[in-house]
Amino acid sequence: MYQTILADFIVVLHLLFILFVLFGGLLLFWSSRIPWLHIPAVLWAAMIEFSGWVCPLTPLENFLRQQGGSGTYSTGFIEHYILPLIYPDFLTRRLQILFGLSVLGINLTVYGLFLYRRGKKTT
C-alpha cells in the first residue's frame, strides 16, 4: 500500500518538476539564485525530450506501482498523464521535439526579459 502512495508522490514530484522547468524562470524575478537550479533542470528536460529518453522518475513510479500491486504503464510520464489531457493522440517524435523547443523558448524569453529589465535599471 505504501508503494502506491510513494508512486503517487513521484507523479506529483514529476509534475512539479515539469512546472518548474516551464515556469521556474519567473522565479528569477524573486531570487537571483534560481538560475543555479533552474538552468540545469531546463537543460535536463530538453535533453530528455530531444533524445527521446524516458525520465528516470517514470521507471521508479512503475516499480513502486508494481510493488504495490497496481498496474504499470510502458509510456513516459507525459504520454501517460499529461498528453491525454492535452492531445487525443499518442506522443510522436515531432511533438517531443516541439516540447523541447517550447521549454527552451519559454525560458529564453523569460531570461531575456529579466536581463533586459536589469540592463535598463543599471543605465
Give residue-wise pLDDT tens across range 52-70.
Answer: 787 888 888 888 878 887 7
For residue 73, give the nearest of 89, 57, 97 by alpha carbon.
Answer: 57
What pLDDT band is residue 88 in, cutting at 50, 70 and 90? Answer: very low
For the chain, the structural domain boundaries read: 2-122
pTM attached to this predicted model: 0.70
CA distance 13 to 25: 18
* Identity of the amino acid at 18: I
Give residue 52's Cα distance to chain centre. 14
Condensed to tens digits (0 to 9), the pLDDT of residues 12-35 reads: 888 889 899 989 998 888 888 999
Position 46 pLDDT exceeds 60: yes
What value does the mean pLDDT take over residues 37-51? Answer: 91
- Angle at CA of residue 66, ends 59 and 71, nearest 5°: 95
Output the pLDDT for position 52.
79
Residue 117 confidence (pLDDT) above 80:
yes
pLDDT over threshold 70, residue 6: yes
